[in-house]
Chain A
Amino acid sequence: MQHEIIVAGFGGQGVLLTGQLLAYAGLLEGKQVAWVPSYGPEMRGGTANCSVIISDRSIGSPLVDEPGAALVFNQPSLEKFEKHIRNRGLLLINSSTVDTRGVKRKDLQVHHIPANEIAARLGNDRVANMVMLGAYLELTGVVSIDSVLAALAKVLPVNKHSLLTVNRKAAEAGALSVHHPLAAEL
């Protein structure tokens, strides 16, 4: 089984880190992984994206042409990547920052997640990316939230480990939100 994912949004929303955590969690679970960032004259506030492959066999092309899932954090990314998602694939939209009426395709499994509101309720609006990741993991089970937190512990400097708790809560809230979309909107 091979999972191919795009994470896309504005620079500064944590999209590159979200992809890295997913890849690192895959590695910790003994899977083959590849993470490829968009690179270019990008800056905070500009668009950024990365692709992640998690596989139980050796990865050929590290590039993702038709993602099975896309985690979308801004409007330009929805326009850019919606058309590339695999038939009946997964589209997770941060509805706090994206106008979800823009979705055109009917075959996709679309989830609207008010990630910024959920994050704000947890007291830290910077964990919206973890809310989105938690939702994705709940829907696919690609890796466990525990592995993502273990990866985060490796990436975060020790003096920031106090942030692990709110990141775990964010991922768990994201996971819940896909079952109770209305409750999440409140």
Chain B
Amino acid sequence: MKVLMKGNEVIGEAAVRAGCRAFFGYPITPQTELPEYLAHRMPEVGGFFLQAESELAAINMVYGAAGAGARVMTSSSGPGISLKAEGISYLAGAQLPCVIVNIMRGGPGLGGIQPSQADYFQATRGGGHGDYRVIVLAPASVQEMADLTAEAFELADRYRNPVMLLGDGILGQMMEAVEFKPRPAQNTTNKHWATTGRRGRSKNIINSLYLDPELLEKHNQKLQQKYSQIAGTESRAETYRTEDAAIIVVAFGTAARIARTAVDNARARGIRAGLIRPITLWPFPEPVIRESLGECRAVLTVEMNAGQMLDDVRLAVNGTRPVHFYGRMGGMVPSAAEVLRAIEKTGGMDHGHESCQA
């Protein structure tokens, strides 16, 4: 049965249903409804909720719980994620599965509290130090916040890797219909590596410190092997009206919802526009983008930032088409009408004129 729920609360409920029984966080707008929800929900299912004294404390509690084999989550918004970056690097280094939620707001610094996508670089390039990757999932609806939260826990356990759910203030605050789909029995991954009490087995050590550079290089090679495997199998994207598109818009999250309306409006005016919506931001869905280009003559990236995913789109397109950008910053959200105007002007051509139609 479908219910009407806020995106932030949906993440909390989906986490509980995915078997998450430990949450450590610290409040920050626009994600606070998520810890608020779990503060009452976790005790109902025998789980553990703790509002830590700081983001640093919270992420290190996540490290501890993940090391002990728990399904564990934390959440924040940009400023708090920056504070957690050190811990995320340690989690990646120690190969600990966990889910980190970032409901983005405008930056840099304390910035503001309105919706933004300006943490794309931070999320997809790691944010902390060292050669590591975090799987980044980008929902575009409240329903997808439920589905991808469940998916995040599966991916984290499967690859022993942190997974980030990257939303924005609109997705966190808005209400849409959601159905919590019954999922196959929760991942029963045998966490043979977890520090659960030795009881006769050989010692398990959770660690990211390797003072011998030869050993550290070996460790890094193992991590990189894992990352290539993830990149080869886990990238995904949704395509919309791309089959015959002359102009393809690439956008994720809320920007993709707005772009979809703009694409429909462009089609109504006779402009053959389409949309590619990356669902995984890392690994970036390069194959889908390359395969969908077809007869497209120009690409337009739309983001709520200064142009960050733009770099990845350019790498995927690899110079075969001009890649343009339209974005708003600081918590301002592009309107569908603005995106339509950007589509009309894409490629230096005024596609709004009938005579320019191919």
Contact = CB atoms under 8 A, between A and B. Distances in A.
Bound together: yes
Interface of A: 20, 23-24, 27, 32-37, 39-41, 59-63, 65
A34 B264 CA distance: 18
Interface of B: 2-4, 29-30, 113-114, 169-170, 173-177, 254, 257-258, 260-262, 264, 333, 335-337
Contact of A36 (B2, B173, B337): B173
Contacts of A40: 113-114
Given A60-B258, A61-B261, A63-B335, A35 B170 contact: no
B275 to A, nearest CB: 10
Contacts of B335: 61, 63, 65
Contact of A27 (B2, B169, B336): B2
Contacts of B174: 34-37, 62
A60 B257 contact: yes
Nearest to A34: B176
Contacts, number: 63
Contact of A63 (B29, B177, B258): B258
A41 B114 CA distance: 11
A19 to B, nearest CB: 9
Most buried by A among B2, B3, B176, B335: B176
Given A27-B2, A27-B4, A63-B333, A37 B173 contact: yes
Given A60-B258, A60-B260, A35 B176 contact: yes
Contact of A24 (B4, B29, B170, B254): B4
A63 B337 CA distance: 12
5 contacts: A23-B4, A27-B3, A35-B175, A63-B258, A65-B335
A125 B335 CA distance: 37
Contacts of A62: 170, 174, 176, 254, 257
Nearest to B174: A36
A33 B170 contact: no
A35 B114 CA distance: 16
B177 A61 contact: no
Contacts of A33: 4, 175-177
A90 B333 CA distance: 25
B170 A32 contact: no
Contacts of A35: 4, 174-176
